[in-house]
Amino acid sequence: MRTEAIDPPGIDWQRVSPKYVTVRLVEWALANLAMVLVLSLPLGFVLLGWWSWPPLGLAIAVPAVMLVVALWRLALIPRQVRAIGYAERDDDLLIRSGIFFQRAMAVPYGRMQYVDIAVGPVERGLGLCTLKLHTASPGTNARIPGLPAAEGARLREQLAARGEARLAGL
C-alpha cells in the first residue's frame, strides 16, 4: 500500500543506518520468540496428556496466531527502519517514523534541555547509538535510533551548539 506521507513536503530526510535492522531483529527475537514459546507450553502439555484443558484446537490456535503476528512484524522491520528519518532545519529538528502509525515531530533547538546518547550491547557491537532529546515536556518523546556513532556524536554537538545559540526560557 503506497500512501501519502504526512510529513511536510520538500524535506531532505537523513536516514538511519541500515545496520539498525539487526538491532531491531535481536529485539524482535527476544520479545516475540519468547512469547510464542511461552504460549506454546499449553500445547506441549496437552500433547503430552498432562492437561485435559484447553482443547487441542485452541492450544494450537493461540501460538499460531501469535506466530503469524510476530512474522508479520518481522517482515515490517526493514520498512520501519527505512521510515525513520531526521532533518536538521534552521530552527528545529524534524524526526519522522512509522509506516502504519506515522509520526512527524518538530523539536525547536531553543527548547531542548539536554541531549542523551544511549548505546545498548547490540548497538555497540554494530557501532550504532541512540540519540534522545529532552524538552521541558514529558510528551516530547524524540529519539533517533540507529545512528552511526560518529554521526551521533556530531549531531549531539551540533544540537548542543544550536540549542545554546537559540536558547529560550520555558
Partner 1 sequence: MTADGQRPAVPTTAAGQEALGASDDEWRRVHPASPFVRGWVALAAIVFFFGRDIFERLLQGQPIFEEGLARRAPWLLAGGGTVLAVAVLGFVLTWYFTKYQVSGGYVRVDSGFLFRQHRQARLDRVQAIDIEQPLLARIFGLAELKFEVADAGESAVRLAYLRIDDARRLRATILAQASGAVPAAEHAGNHAPEAPEYQVLTVPPSRLIGSLLLSEQSFFVVLGGVATVLLSAVTDNRAFYFYLVPAALGLAANYWNLFTKGYNFTAAISPDGIRLRYGLLDTQAQTLPPGRIQAVKIAQPPLWRPFGWYRVQVNVAGYGLAGNAAAGNTRTTLLPVGKLADALNILALVLPDPGTTQPDTVFGAGLAGRDSDGGFVTTPRRARLLAPLAWRRNGFTATGTALLIRSGRWWRELVVVPHQRTQSMALHQGPLARRFRVADLVLHTTAGPVSPRLVQAGLDEARQLFDDQAARARLARTRQTTEQWLRQVVPPAVEGPPNAAGVAVAGSAPAAPTNHQQEGPQHG
Give contact residues for partner 1 (rule: CB under 8 A).
3-4, 6-9, 91-92, 100-108, 110-114, 134-140, 142, 160, 163-164, 166-170
> Residue 146, by phi and psi: left (phi above 0), alpha (psi -120 to 50) or beta?
left
Decide whether 35 or 76 has the Cβ nearer to partner 1.
76
**Whole-number minimum distance, CB 97 to partner 1, in Å?**
10
Q: Report whether 118 contacts 130 (CB < 8 A).
A: yes
Q: Side chain identity at 25, as an amino acid letter?
A: L
User: Nearer Cβ to partner 1, position 49 or 169?
Assistant: 169
Residue 110 or 127: the one with the smaller Cβ distance to partner 1 is 110
C-alpha cell, 51:
492437561
- State in angstroms the smallest separation of the CB of 148 from partner 1: 25
For helices 56-83 and 20-28, the axis angle rounded to 10 degrees is 160
> Does residue 42 have a cis peptide bond before it, meaning omega lies within 30 degrees of 0?
no
Q: Which one, of 118, 83, 87, lies nearest residue 103 by Cα?
A: 83
Task: Give min distance, CB of 5 to partner 1, in A.
Answer: 9
Of 46 and 142, which has the nearer Cβ to partner 1?
A: 142
Smallest distance, partner 1 to C-beta of residue 7, A = 7
